Chain A
Amino acid sequence: MKPLVVKNLKKSYGKFEAVKGINFEIGNNEIFALIGPNGAGKSTTLKTIATLLTPSDGQILVYGEDISEKQEKAREFISYLPEEAGAYKRLSGKEYLKLLASLYSDDDRKIKEFYDRGVAIANLGLKINDKIATYSKGMTRKILLARALMVMPKLAILDEPTSGLDVTNAIYIRNIIKEYAKKGMAVLLSSHNMLEIEYLSDRVAIIDKGTIYETGTAKELKLKHKADNLEEVFIKVASK
């Protein structure tokens, strides 16, 4: 059973069609990236798959569960990291991880397992005991990523995971994503950073104006469009 199957997904806000019927699938252990400009429909697609928005039409299956009919069941498989995510600033890093771990399981052992994994992923040392309000942007993003991955979701949905981070933190986060994908997690991510996408993803979909124009590995797309990098691929695809 595939972690994610998206069939003819459409999403409208009133008269505006943000997503116009897209199709793609993600396999086990696969890192799949959506790339496109601002307003292309990436975040809308990710939010819809994360069950925050309701599809206007089409079907989304997460491990065979139709999210329109079984939202809560689907959420058990999913962990979502929004682009502009925040954490509860009055909690310390460890309190935050414990709280979110408790929302994913009622079993104390499982909660501890999630928490320990989260602390390891965050890699904040003693700062994990401090209030999140004292964290830098990089530290906050690390704790948020830790929250997203600590529960070992079957499908991790990461919207611009390294957005606004310095090189060191960005590299750290990319490596964590790659490491956890190897552990059995499927990852759906979006990014503007083409280099990051090339490094991280197994397959890529180019999306613009709510439509997916191309899908394939970075290598395939570069060959097809005779481009040196994904940026060139995108420019050539978008100009058509």
Chain B
Amino acid sequence: MNSSDISYLLSHYWSNFLYGTLSTVILSIVGTFGGLLLGIFLAFAERVVIKKELKWYQKGWRYALKGLANFYSVLIRGTPMMVQAMIFKYGCQALGVNWNAIAPGIQIFDGWFYAGLIVITFNTAAYMGEIVKAGLNGIDKGQLEGASALGLSPFQTLFLVSLPQALRNAIPTIGNEWVVNIKDSSVLNVIGVTELYFMSGQAANKNYMFMASYLIIALIYLLLTLITTLILKLSERKMDGKKFSIPFFHYRAKKEASV
């Protein structure tokens, strides 16, 4: 391999890399934030309180909800996403669902891309559920009591007091999941999702420039994860009410500087 291989691939296959990068970015963002929403639901389900004074059927559905959420979490976290993707693919085929035939409104991505979105979102949800649950467990009980003494309902307390703090505390871990998703979305190539790894493979196979191709995508993955980390750092600082500055460069936004 020499540097001309890299420049050849970049000049002839830039659109492949760009398309792959765009797919990976969308997969990671939708997977992370869609997974977070589902994860919040899973965390709530696992934390449902079952009081002694409830009627048997009220207890029954609560136990069922808790059990299902717990089972889902164990199942998904205990199996690799690549295997889940394959089971999803062949499961869909067995049920007669043809993702190739699903035409999106905007013809940028094929049907398997949307299948990939579903797999990564439901996979991430299991991890996010645990993250949110840990965040909620970390909230000082006194604040919950304070909310209760003010007359806030348990539901209001959850959404107005507990969840905002749990999410704030979980930002580094949520961010870590985002970074993991950027990289792990590459395994979705096994079901034909045209993400970055898949697209670079096409360029490499056609030209036998494997090393150059994978070096290029390694740099792209690194760049994506660095940008993601930076976004998370800035959002953490913003939520802490600190000055809006970019780490390392100590850049201060004009607005802050003028204060």
Same complex for A and B? Answer no
